[in-house]
Chains A and B, each alone.
Chain A
Amino acid sequence: MPGMTHSADRLRQSSGNFHWGLLPNWKEACRRRGPPSISPRCSAPTCGAPGLLSADPDRPLKGGGPLKSGGLPPAPAFKGPGCPDGSPVRLAGGWPNSAGRGAEPSRGRPNRRAGARRARGGRGRGSGSARGRMESLLQQLERFSEVLAVSRTAAVSAWGPAAVRRAVQWARYLRRAHGRLRAALEGRRRAGPRLGAWGGRDVVLSARLLGNRALGAAAHRCLLRLLFPGPAAPAPAPAAALQARLARLARRRGAVRLLLRGGPAEDAALRTQAELLLRRLRDGPAGGLLDGLWARAPRAAFLRAAAAALLLDPAGPAPGELLRWLLGRADALAALCRDLPAARLAALAARHPALRRAYLRQLARWGCRLRYDLPSGRWEAAEPAHVSWAELRGRFLSLARAPPPLKDAALAALEAWSARDGAFRVRGLSVWTDLLLALGPGAGTDSLGAAPSSGVLGAGGCRLARPGPARSPEHAHFPK
């Protein structure tokens, strides 16, 4: 939508002063949709409901300037028996938090007077109120997310047809609002962490409710009527659009199932997880999100997805933040180096020099923990939890097979460490020398003895086993 892009540009230039009047298509879109079709009986939320859009869209917005508002966003005045117990409630936010019963989409009526006030208003409102509106939308989204969470629990047994209808109408409304906001707020972190995932909530809500056996029979029938109006529904209507989206979801599921008959799709699955992770990172502050994921999400899955994300799009800002986070979290980094397959780690190290240095440091740490067992003539881990000789060798093999910059760096590091251990070509003295030998003549022997390239370990590199009398690995000192 070129108009939208244009206004988004203007938004960026306006140094954070967000004006609704900058959305030229908004008014037109509202007008096309007609006035909010609030059924007289159950005042369900529709287009104007959350008080963000003009509640009276037919009224022209003067001058295209920011809408005037008294205390924007006007809290939708909810009245009527919104709670299951039938007691009249008046909620500022729009969604009742009826504890113990689970959230139910409450009946909401847009504050028409407030809307009219806004519509009449001219220019001159500061960005504060606009931000307020934004905050309000985010609040609505948060509240709706509660409804969404409830939609897959047994608590929906308390929902009647009216509640289902309101929930679906809200989901449709939020999709429209999201579509417009996303265009306007592209690149603005202020949009908050939640905005990004709001694209297809109507589909999610529908699928969850359809699959929830706890939903009462009457509510379910109402849901079916709302979601599948049949071929008679006119094409541009929101009901027909949602029906088409659900059908497409079903068709895509069918397609995935058919394609899976040809064999597993691990790469594709991993790539998808990585893309979702990156999408999420773009939507909000990365640090908190990543800390949260590290604390709560299954770690192996998280690390696999993180590694895949770092391989996907190295130029974007989101992988940058992910990389910074990873380099700053020693435990996460160690787990990543430990759990990922050698080839994947080599690919990561080839792509990100900072990660390469960290990986080599990690390998050095592991190597220093190995002890040479004279009777068996093998390097062995001091503790079962430690990385074994075979595994370490595998890692270096994979690095030695990588394209030149990485391969050279890995071999140079090995040579440097071997040199510090004296570079005696006798097995059992230095794990590094033995690794070099194990990599075979093609790997590094041709360059063995050459001065290690200065940039290998870099300024932040590992100050490895200082040259000195202590040759055995256990004396190696690895400052953190």
Chain B
Amino acid sequence: MAQDSVDFSSHYQFWMQKLSVWEHASTLETQQDTCLHLPRFQEFLRQMYEVLKELNSSTIIERFPTIGQLLAKTCWNPFILAFDESQKILIWCLCCLINKEPQNSEESKLNSWTRGLLSQILSAFRFDTKEVDLFIQSLGYTPEDYCPGLLKNMVLSLVSELRENHLNGFNTQRRMVPEKIRFLSRICIPLVTLPDIEPLVEALLTYHGHETQEVLWPEFFDAVNEAFLLKKISLPTSAVVCLWLRHLPSLEKATLHLFEKLISSERNFLRRIEYFLKDSLLPEAACHPAIFRIVDEMFRYVLLETDGAPEVLAAIQVFTQCFVEALEKKNKQLKFTLKTYFPYASPSLVMVLLQHPKEIPQELWLQTLKHISEMLREIVEDQTHRSYGGPFECWFLFIHFGGWADIAAEQLVMSETESSEALLWLLAFSYSPRDGSLQRAQTMVELKAALIHLKKLFRSPTLSAKDLQAVAAESPDRDPRPALCQQLSRRLLLNFLLWAPGGHAIAWEVITLEETSGSGGGEISPAQSSCFSLLLLLALFLDHNNSQVKMS
């Protein structure tokens, strides 16, 4: 508590000094500095109100003899009064200053002075001329009726000036000079969250002048981006795209904001990931290659940092899906080639991968997968294709379209004939891109063995949940299989459960088994836990493919 009050006192001194420098925010420097500090100052005002409301007027004056000065300086700063909720908190603070039982003339004077400040913030708007004032009065309206309309029309007129439009006969043909546009972007900083100002914010963002340098203030972009991310304003997608194209830090912040949301959300079903992604507007904005490349680059960075975490892989896959959807919607006006989005990839490979499996007939899946596998293998194993990047670049491209890896696993499980070498390679590659060809050949052999084992199991009439647990379990006591093969065989098992006849029934049996053994109160065995996580994965998968697969 004592520490709090010490902190508050030092903040108080800091802001008192700032306000003295800012005065009426009449110079460029003071305006800039004010805008930079607006959110922090509002926080301070809130703190101050919390302190003041517990004290009576005389104690306040005793503890903070300069508080009158501080509040008066605040009242005179138009940037602070226009910002967010600052004016409201300031009024609350001033209300605390009013002495309920003024004992002497000093206290009465203070009350009267505070009243003056309050009415200065709130009382009638002053008209330019007496004549207009009288006219509005004769109409039966008041300055309070006039003010919102005036603001709306000022904004409209600025917007039309920006768009060099005519507005109902009010000709505003004079073109705005860059200095004025820069000025507007500065005074909009405290105002971005005021709904009346939204059209102006949008017009500023979409304004394209002939200047070679950015005319808008960087702090303006920051303020708009912040308000957009916190959903304090709603902007059309075109304006948001302009914002991100014009101000790279805003795009980076928006992407980081998305990552934070994805991380902080407890259970990320694919639907939920999709919701977050679409809500962020990033996939839609990514139709512009510059935005796509930056977001993609950030995804790549996160992927490397997390050593290929499945959540990140899922997010990249869903992002790509949403992006392709948005791209198809805009197909008619698509201005960029695929090369601009994936500059390091082979264009023919991108073309094949871009097809959604659902869009092509099922009987062609195998053929397409083989084609993909061959192209990838050629690039990865053949040193002459260096222009398309190394194995990592290929893999990074492939995981964008992770749906094809799922289809490959499904095809392996479902086909009655000998497993296709190409599909085995694709699956092995998608799980471990860094392997050399020898290592990968070994993985493929093991994968094939696991597949045969699973097929045999599923053909046996006495298949039980226990057998399933044995496959899924990491069996440390027996010959420890490499983690990679473990992952792959579980992936195949999942596909068996999904697609093989009777797979769903066995899945239910396992769930029941888990429940009964769990109710015994004993420790959960590693076999159980891995089975459980497998089922979670299954649930996740079903959630995504709900329309196709139903557990009955």
Point out residues on A near B: beta carbons under 8 Å.
Answer: 194, 197, 200, 203-204, 206-208, 210-211, 213, 217, 220-221, 224-225, 228, 230-231, 243-244, 246-247, 249-265, 267-273, 275-277, 280, 292-293, 296-298, 300-302, 305, 308, 311-312, 343, 347, 351
CB pair B132–A252 under 8 Å, yes or no, is: no
Q: Which of B152-160, B346-354, B384-392 contacts A (4 or more CB under 8 A)?
A: B152-160
A30 to B150, CA, bound (A): 34
Q: Which of B85, B87, B136, B138 contacts A254 (CB 8 A)?
A: B87
Point out residues on B near A: beta carbons under 8 Å.
Answer: 49, 53, 78-79, 81-82, 85, 87-88, 91-92, 95, 98, 100, 102, 108, 111, 115, 118-119, 121-125, 128-129, 131-132, 134-136, 138-142, 144-158, 167-172, 180, 183-184, 187, 190-191, 194, 196-197
Q: Which residues of B have CB within 8 Å of A230?
A: 49, 53, 92, 95
Q: Which of A203, A272, A305 contacts B144 (CB 8 A)?
A: A203
Q: Which residues of B have CB within 8 Å of A351?
A: 169
Q: Which residues of B have CB within 8 Å of A269?
A: 128, 132, 150, 153
CB pair A251–B135 under 8 Å, yes or no, is: no
Q: Which residues of B have CB within 8 Å of A270?
A: 170
CB pair B131–A301 under 8 Å, yes or no, is: yes
Q: Kindly provide the distance from the CB of B38 to the nearest chain A CB, expressed in whole angstroms.
A: 12
Q: Kindly provide the distance from the CB of B101 to the nearest chain A CB, expressed in whole angstroms.
A: 10
Q: Which of B119, B135, B148, B180 contacts A252 (CB 8 A)?
A: B148
Name B's interface SS: helix
Q: Kindly provide the distance from the CB of B90 to the nearest chain A CB, expressed in whole angstroms.
A: 9
CB pair B87–A251 under 8 Å, yes or no, is: yes
CB pair A197–B140 under 8 Å, yes or no, is: yes
CB pair A204–B78 under 8 Å, yes or no, is: no
Q: Which residues of B have CB within 8 Å of A200?
A: 144-145
Q: Which residues of A have CB within 8 Å of B123?
A: 207-208, 210-211
Q: Kindly provide the distance from the CB of B79 to the nearest chain A CB, expressed in whole angstroms.
A: 7
A200 to B148, CA, bound (A): 11
Return the chain B residue nearest A271 by Cβ.
B153
Give the A-B pair count, Cβ closer than 8 A: 194
CB pair A276–B184 under 8 Å, yes or no, is: no
CB pair A297–B138 under 8 Å, yes or no, is: yes
Return 6 A-B CB contacts under 8 Å, by A number: A230-B95, A231-B49, A256-B151, A258-B191, A280-B139, A296-B138
Return the chain A residue nearest B180 by Cβ.
A262
CB pair A207–B98 under 8 Å, yes or no, is: no
Question: Contacts A213-B115, A221-B98, A221-B100: A275 and B149 contacting too (C-beta < 8 A)?
Answer: yes
Q: Kindly provide the distance from the CB of B108 to the nearest chain A CB, expressed in whole angstroms.
A: 8
CB pair A268–B118 under 8 Å, yes or no, is: no
Q: Which residues of A have CB within 8 Å of B167?
A: 267
CB pair A250–B119 under 8 Å, yes or no, is: no
Q: Which residues of A have CB within 8 Å of B129?
A: 301
> A258, A273, A277: which has the most chain B beta carbons within 10 Å?
A258
Q: Which residues of A have CB within 8 Å of B169?
A: 311, 347, 351
A136 to B469, CA, bound (A): 80
Q: Which residues of A have CB within 8 Å of B98?
A: 220-221, 224
Q: Which residues of A have CB within 8 Å of B154?
A: 256, 259-260, 265, 268
CB pair A231–B92 under 8 Å, yes or no, is: yes
Q: Which of A254, A271, A280 contacts B141 (CB 8 A)?
A: A280
Return the chain B residue nearest A280 by Cβ.
B139
CB pair A262–B157 under 8 Å, yes or no, is: no
Question: Contacts A251-B194, A254-B87, A268-B154: A273 and B136 contacting too (C-beta < 8 A)?
Answer: yes
CB pair A250–B122 under 8 Å, yes or no, is: yes
Q: Kindly provide the distance from the CB of A197 to the nearest chain B CB, expressed in whole angstroms.
A: 5
Return the chain B residue nearest A269 by Cβ.
B150
CB pair A268–B157 under 8 Å, yes or no, is: yes
CB pair B132–A273 under 8 Å, yes or no, is: yes
CB pair B146–A217 under 8 Å, yes or no, is: no
Question: Contacts A220-B115, A302-B135: A255 and B145 contacting too (C-beta < 8 A)?
Answer: no
